[in-house]
Amino acid sequence: MRRSRWPPVVTAAVLVFLWLPIAVLAANSFNRSRFGSSWEGLSLRWYRALLADADTWRALRNSLVVGVGATLTSLALGTSAAVALHRHRSRLQRLHYALVYSPLVVPDLLMGMSLLVLFVALGADLGLGTVYLAHTTFCVSYVAMVVLARLQDFDPSILEAARDLGAGRWTVVRRVLLPLLAPGLAAAGLLAFTLSIDDFVITFFVAGPGATTLPVRVYSMIKHSRNLPAINALSVLMLAATFTAVRASRRLLQEDRP
């Protein structure tokens, strides 16, 4: 039987579709011109503009603080929720499931508005703290769903075997459950971080004075800013940082193996 020529073609097409916009963005970050449609020569102009742009760096810092904070909190809460949902079945748990699930289907606009109204009613000062709480709220659902999926093809008898062999409850969690869940936790954490880093709608509503995050700033720059292409430069730097982190983690994981 002859092998079809289609799979490599489709693979190539998908890769181009995924990576071409990023390649264009990277190329444009070195374009002297403000507009992507014309090439006016190689230049580091937008990198210089970015370097001098204190507001963008402050926004990036805010995004990272919120992203890391919301990821860690939602990992803890979401994983506990998933374990509870997996282990116990009752009417109350069905309600619990619905509550954890619903933020996934509630539109962002509604969620942002209602959280804002809630914070105002509670008399909370809007700021990075409220952004962190809001992000944790929606990240918990995603984490719980990802971890729950991991738990579903998880053999509970392993835990029982560990107990039989004399491990304490905490040792079982630490030495058996968490290592087995680790890939799911890593995936959930990355997903939560990504969602937090690029959320705009909810953030805009719950952010208070001094809590502008990167997406909120970028949206506002579209209207007036002469510095908008500096965002291309920032994206390239962020991509580079991501690739470096992925490579480094691969290295570390490989070294771990015998």
Q: Given the rule CB under 8 A, which residues bind another protein?
A: 33-38, 40, 52, 54-55, 62, 65-66, 68-69, 72-73, 76, 113, 116-117, 120-121, 125-129, 132, 204-205, 207-212, 216-217, 219-227
User: Whose Cβ is closer to another protein: residue 56's or residue 141's?
Assistant: 56
Least Å distance between CB 215 and another protein? 10
Are residues 200 and 212 in contact, defined by beta-carbon separation less than 8 angstroms? no
User: Whose Cβ is closer to another protein: residue 141's or residue 203's?
Assistant: 203
User: Whose Cβ is closer to another protein: residue 116's or residue 148's?
Assistant: 116
User: Whose Cβ is closer to another protein: residue 93's or residue 124's?
Assistant: 124
User: Whose Cβ is closer to another protein: residue 124's or residue 159's?
Assistant: 124
Nearest residue to 55 (alpha-carbon basis) of 206, 238, 220, 195 = 220
Least Å distance between CB 148 and another protein? 20
Least Å distance between CB 53 and another protein? 8
| The residue type at 246 | V
Distance CA(21)–CA(23), nearest Å, equals 5
- List CB contacts of 64: < 8 A, sequence separation 6 or more: 197
Are residues 188 and 143 in contact, defined by beta-carbon separation less than 8 angstroms? yes
The answer for 123, left when phi > 0, alpha when psi is -120 to 50, beta otherwise, is left
Least Å distance between CB 1 and another protein? 49
User: Whose Cβ is closer to another protein: residue 58's or residue 93's?
Assistant: 58
Question: In sequence order, what DSSP letters do the residues of 193-251 get, joined into one string?
Answer: HHHHHT--HHHHHH--TT---HHHHHHHHHHH-S-TTHHHHHHHHHHHHHHHHHHHHHH
Least Å distance between CB 76 and another protein? 6
Least Å distance between CB 68 and another protein? 7
Nearest residue to 128 (alpha-carbon basis) of 217, 210, 219, 60 = 210
What are residue 121's phi and psi, to 5 degrees? -65, -35
Least Å distance between CB 10 and another protein? 31
Distance CA(56)–CA(63), nearest Å, equals 10
User: Whose Cβ is closer to another protein: residue 97's or residue 113's?
Assistant: 113
